[in-house]
Amino acid sequence: MSNCIIAQSGGPTSVINSSVVGLVKANEELKLYDKVYGGLNGIEGILKNNIIELSSKSCDELNTFTYTPSSGLGSCRYKLKPIEDSTEEYDKLLDILSKLDIEAFFYVGGNDSMDTTAKLSKYAKENGLNIKFIGIPKTIDNDLMYTDHTPGFASAAKFISTIVLETYLDASVYTNNGIFIIETMGRDTGWLAASACCAKINGRQVADFIYLPEVAFDKEKFLIDVRKKFEEQNQVYIVVSEGLKDENGKFITEFNCISQDTFGHTQLGGVSECLRNLILTAGITTRVKALELGVLQRCAMHCASKVDIEEAYLAGYEALKYAMDNKNGSMVAIKRESNSPYKTSFFEVEASNVANNVKYFPKEWINKDGNNLTEEAFEYFSPLFEGTPSLCLENNLPKYKVFYK
């Protein structure tokens, strides 16, 4: 008997569960393993033996699970100790997997999850254990190297563009309109904020300015640009990434360094309010609103991209094929073959090459003033938004299914 296990880690996305279902369905068709287990709350839960059998779940349960946002197996932000410091956790984890006859471990996650995948693969190989470790990419930040984009990003980006359109209209109804600032996630990179370039009405981009961490933020230039635009059209719409930094590489707001997650990443927020205060202090107008989108960006299944759901599913399916081909320490990556018609394929990258690296938004897609984007950016994002999901409904609301409760 041989089995496999899949778990989720890090921040949730709208489509992360589709990757799990893709793997379960692949195993049903390819019949590689006797059972597919699910680790609840990632490695942290597996170390506590919080494990369920996914392959015994009904088709209806799995279908509902596919269209359920957030991490339906539960997640964690659990960092294994460096191997050179202690192997106790590694040995305990591998012992638990061995007792369940696990031959493949699939980890759905981002940068830190790929680091964990690489470390576990290396340790298992060094100790002669026949367990393969394979990474399935996931992050709304779209900051994983080598892959064209990450499952989860397209849905978050589509949600952002939709909200930008709707709030732009809401902010445009008066004869004397003000300045509206919307803040997206994006600790290190500006992919999410940049996606707002897709929000257009009558072919015109509604965001007057888009600010990303890849370009140093100049407060004086910002105020000059905003004042000029406001005087021209009596309204300004601004999109800003939470990770905005000054010329010294420091976050521009005092509100954003108050805490860290368990991986040591700064937990950000408050940039939109900081810009609002700059505008008020400069006396440009008193009509300034700031909106921080927060976690809505990563759990809005009602506004998900069908392309994203399908690609997340196929990434899980492909991961099982990697195990069938005896891949180990690998991550499934997406290659874009063409924009029109939109076509992608999958390829293998080493998880260790993805770990601890960041894919930044291309500076050549940012205009010379550093406050908006080029047409190439729009062409990159646009195909990712295609299609909407057919949600399961109950009492006229979405019906969702999770396994960690």
Q: Which amino acid type is present at position 177?
A: N
- C-alpha–C-alpha distance, residues 108 and 259, integer Å: 25
Q: Which of 381, 371, 374, 382 is nearest to 214 (CA)?
A: 371
Which residues are paired to 260 by β-bridges? Answer: 266
For residue 198 the two structure tokens come to 């897709």
Residue type, 328: N
Is residue 111 classed as helix, strand or coil in its secondary structure?
A: helix
8 A C-beta contact, residue 96 and residue 7:
no
Question: Which of 95, 101, 115, 141 is labelled catalytic?
Answer: 141
Query: Using an 8 Å Cβ cutoff, are 194 and 363 in contact?
Result: no
**Which residues fall within 8 angstroms of residue 291, CB to CB, at 6 or more apart?**
167, 180, 181, 182, 183, 272
How many DSSP H helices and E strands does the chain contain? 12, 15
Annotation says 141 is catalytic:
yes
Which residues form the catalytic set?
141
